A and B are shown apart, each in its own frame.
Chain A
Amino acid sequence: MAKLNMVQAINLALAQEMEKDADVLVLGQDVAVDGGVFRVTDGLLEKFGDQRVVDTPLAESGIIGSSIGMAMAGLKPVCEMQFSGFSYLMMGQFEAHATRMRSRTHGQITLPMVIRMPFGGGVRALEHHSESREVLFAHLPGAKVVIPSGPRNARALLVAAIRDPDPVVFMEPKHSYRAFREEVPDAEETLPVGKCQVVQEGTDLTVISWGAMMRPALKAAAEIEKRRGTSVEIIDVQTIAPLDAHTIAESVRKTGRCVIVQEAPRSYGASGEIVAQINDRALMHLEAPVKRLTGYDVVTPYFGREKSYLPNAERVVAGMEETLDF
């Protein structure tokens, strides 16, 4: 057991999987010699050599397209988009090929690959470096989208993503990269792709979030427990697509009240899908409308205005009160 931050935990997952499986390799811009601009792949070149840790030319479509080819040949590429803001340049390859190859060939050609990318705001980054656009991927049939919220689950989810038989977009909330540490066991640990995790059980209110927003969600839950003695159940979604609606509905059937916290813009966000699933599966158990605390439908402001844009614990507490008082 060591106390690791998320960068170190992801690095551990990569190193251990590469150790175990010679088909796993890492490629992307600045991932080898530089160890990644966030140092996530630091030291891998020294351990595994330049055939398995590959600095690529500056071309997102080339990175994904060639990873698809590698995966067709049975390798398990873990490729990196330097920032999610540049991943849109690979969308053609992703939609037309990564997400569809299994279906098109009825399973004859499959693509076991992971596309890692830092995303999200809160680090005073340059323009195009702070967006939350997980649903752009999640909407595509065949795409799996996994978002860890802390060092320990990042490690466990990444290992599972690498072993998953399908393309997984693994979105790393960069605000959480170095924000806190957790005990991460040295021994192998995985969490399932396609499942939500109930991180705290409760009976009065369900709080649902993912990625960097888990921090304000947890903080708000602690505050509301203190203020009103509310018993809060907290769900870390972890896999945005395919969504584990079952776990979510089960919780809401129990609590009857629900708050969802999402960093991304409000309209067509994952929270909208979660509300729809609750309506389908637990509507008659609701005692209040499901409350969404989200980003806004505006272009993510540059960092001077970023803090007032991002959902925070105060806003979540206010949303919880509204739901509880309904």
Chain B
Amino acid sequence: MPEKQIAKFSVTHLQVLDEKGKVDAALEPDLGQEQAVEMYRWMRLARTLDERMLKLQRQGRLGTFPPCTGHEAVSIPVGLAMKKGDWFAGAFRELGTRLVRGEPLTNTLHYYNGWEEGNILPDADLRILPTSVVIGCQIEHAAGLAYAAKYRGTDEAVVTFIGDGGTSEGSFHEGLNFAAVWKAPMVAIVQNNQWAISIPRETQTASETLAQKGIAYGIPVIQVDGNDPLAVWVAVNEALDRARAGDGPTLIEAVTYRLMMHTTADDPTKYRQSADEEAAWAKEPLIRTRKWLANKGWWDDAREEKLLAECKEQVDAAVEEFETPVERAHDESFRHVYGTEHAVIREQHEDFLANQEREGQRG
């Protein structure tokens, strides 16, 4: 009985637009000027808001938050590729997708300033789930959402995100396996930014790629340059088409870099070299996207300047709205414990109000 090879696997890496702005014409998606510019505008807006949030946080005007700078080439094309009716079950480093999907800028600001109001969408039909602080859980939710879409016979798809660190959690594996077994319309994106707080990618897993983890569950996988919005665009559209066609989930590993601190409470100088950060900045996504647009004749300095001004204006307006004082009832929590009335909650609510009466409302 000779040994024989019974299975063989490989992982493809896709890059369309390199860091110098050079595009592979054979792979280049047909975006068209309007859509291409639109993509860049969203990337710039997400970056502008992220940078402003860091300032606000440092000035004590915002709580702790995880900066998303450098992740725009993943989050923006994914958001743009999604359709109305699709669900977004994100992790916590996809500010761009939230904005593109229609979440107001002020939601993110309120959320990171300690208010549940930041989780509430202007319209539930936007189908953006709250941030998944507990890492990994969202992949399983996505599998369930995708099951429901299939059950109802819609062509809706579910997009979920996780970080490189998150791929170590059981939930990641369980969620992928469920979606795969169910052939459910789910697209899982691993935002591999090389770091999980202080833990580098090599300490996180002995796997050569994160994409290959999907192979174990029998689903198509691909690794893309996560600083290249065109590669992400191509991969996510293929995956969404597959999902809508009833061909099940896909795992996309997007290789990027966490250019900033993990959260504003973190100090990366404890665990990584600034030289590595500088090297990563040279590959960041906005510069190459702008070059690509310019090479196409769709962009120039004047348009850039105008865009920067517009983004600033939009962020200014959001911050102004965010900082406009509003009276918020502090007993709100009591109204949302259950969907039914119960004396235990009612009595405690009364006790709480009596305390507030005596002490005054505290922040």
Contact = CB atoms under 8 A, between A and B. Distances in A.
Interface residues of A, number: 41
A22 to B, nearest CB: 24
Contacts of A2: none
Contacts of A128: 133-134
Interface stretch (B199-207, B227-235, B250-258): B199-207
Interface in B317-361: 328, 330, 332-334, 336-337, 344-345, 348, 351-352, 355-356, 358-359, 361
A134 interface: no
Interface of B: 63-64, 112-116, 131, 133-136, 165-166, 168-171, 196-199, 203-205, 263, 265-266, 270-271, 328, 330, 332-334, 336-337, 344-345, 348, 351-352, 355-356, 358-359, 361-363
Given A62-B170, A296-B334, 20 more contacts: A33-B271, A34-B270, A55-B198, A57-B204, A57-B205, A58-B135, A58-B196, A59-B170, A86-B134, A124-B64, A126-B63, A128-B133, A296-B348, A298-B333, A298-B334, A305-B332, A308-B352, A309-B333, A314-B359, A315-B355
Contact of A55 (B199, B266, B344, B351): B199
A299 interface: yes
Given A128-B134, A298-B333, A58 B271 contact: no
B170 A304 contact: no
A62, A267, A308, A314 — most chain B CB neighbours (10 Å):
A308
A30 B134 contact: no
Given A58-B168, A314-B359, A37 B197 contact: yes
A79 to B, nearest CB: 15
A127 B344 CA distance: 24
B270 A35 contact: yes
B363 A307 contact: yes
Contact of B198 (A33, A305, A307, A312): A33
6 contacts: A34-B197, A37-B197, A267-B344, A304-B116, A307-B362, A312-B359
Interface in A121-157: 124-129
A34 B271 contact: yes
B333 A305 contact: yes
A48 interface: no
Contacts of B330: 301, 305, 308
Contacts of A318: 358
B333 A127 contact: no
Interface in A164-193: none
Given A58-B166, A89-B169, A304-B328, A126 B64 contact: yes
A218 to B, nearest CB: 19
A315 B359 CA distance: 8
A61 interface: yes
Contacts of B136: 89
B114, B328, B359 — most chain A CB neighbours (10 Å):
B114
Interface in A287-305: 296-299, 301-305
A309 B363 CA distance: 10
B131, B165, B336, B355 — most chain A CB neighbours (10 Å):
B355
Contacts of A127: 131, 133
A57 B203 contact: yes
Contact of B344 (A35, A85, A297): A297
Contacts of B334: 296, 298
Contacts, number: 122
Nearest to B204: A57
B264 to A, nearest CB: 11
B129 to A, nearest CB: 13
A102 interface: no
B63 A124 contact: yes
B64 A314 contact: no
Interface string A68-105: 00000000000000000110010000000000000000
A301 B116 contact: yes
Contacts of B170: 59, 61-62, 89
Contacts of B265: 37
A29 interface: yes
Contacts of A307: 362-363
B201 to A, nearest CB: 11
Contacts of B115: 302, 304-305
B169 A299 contact: no
A302 B135 CA distance: 18
A298 B116 CA distance: 13
A315 B136 CA distance: 39
A179 B352 CA distance: 26
Contacts of B199: 29-30, 55, 57-58
Contacts of A55: 198-199, 203
A33 B204 contact: no
Nearest to A32: B198
A296 B117 CA distance: 20
A151 B351 CA distance: 33
B113, B266, B328, B362 — most chain A CB neighbours (10 Å):
B362
B115, B169, B171 — most chain A CB neighbours (10 Å):
B169
Contacts of B171: 89
A244 interface: no
Nearest to A127: B133
Contacts of A33: 198, 270-271
A215 interface: no
Contacts of B359: 308, 312, 314-315
Contacts of B355: 308, 315
Nearest to A265: B348
A315 B333 CA distance: 19
A37 B170 CA distance: 22
B337 A297 contact: yes
A318 B356 CA distance: 13
Contacts of A125: 64
A30 B332 contact: no
